[in-house]
């Protein structure tokens, strides 16, 4: 029996295409859907970053919508951090 006091996990997947103004939300969900999003990302070698605050804000964005300008800085900082990690891994 699942415990009621354990919060369900949320997950949001972003995608960016060159030439688009900003990334857009391509998948989001809670519980089992969130678990599936995370598992699929890991299967494809996509780094999974955990930030409950950012995910909570991104959960408010409709599916297939671009992120709002208010989140540009937070997402840009995350992307810069991910590019740095990828560059460091490529050197190994």
pLDDT of residue 88: 87
Decide if 2 is inside a domain: no
Decide if 1 is inside a domain: no
pLDDT in tens, the chain (92 residues): 555 666 789 999 999 888 988 999 999 999 999 999 999 999 998 888 888 999 999 999 999 999 999 999 999 998 888 888 888 888 87
The per-residue DSSP string of 8-63 comes to PPEEEEEE--TTSSS-EEEEEEETHHHHHHHHHHHHTT------HHHHHHHTTSPT
pLDDT of residue 2: 56
Decide if 4 is inside a domain: no
pLDDT of residue 5: 64
Domain residues for 16?
A: 10-91
Decide if 60 is inside a domain: yes
Decide if 55 is inside a domain: yes
Domain of 65, CATH number, reads: 3.40.1690.10
């Amino acid at each position: 029996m699942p415990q009621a006091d354990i919060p369900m996990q949320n997950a949001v997947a972003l995608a960016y295409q060159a030439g688009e103004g900003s990334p857009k939300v391509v998948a989001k969900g809670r519980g089992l859907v969130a678990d599936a999003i995370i598992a699929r990302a890991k299967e494809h070698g996509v780094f999974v970053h955990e930030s409950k605050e950012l995910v909570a804000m991104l959960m408010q964005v409709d599916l297939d919508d671009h992120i709002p300008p208010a989140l540009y800085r937070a997402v840009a900082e995350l992307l810069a951090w991910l590019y740095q990690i990828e560059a460091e891994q490529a050197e190994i």
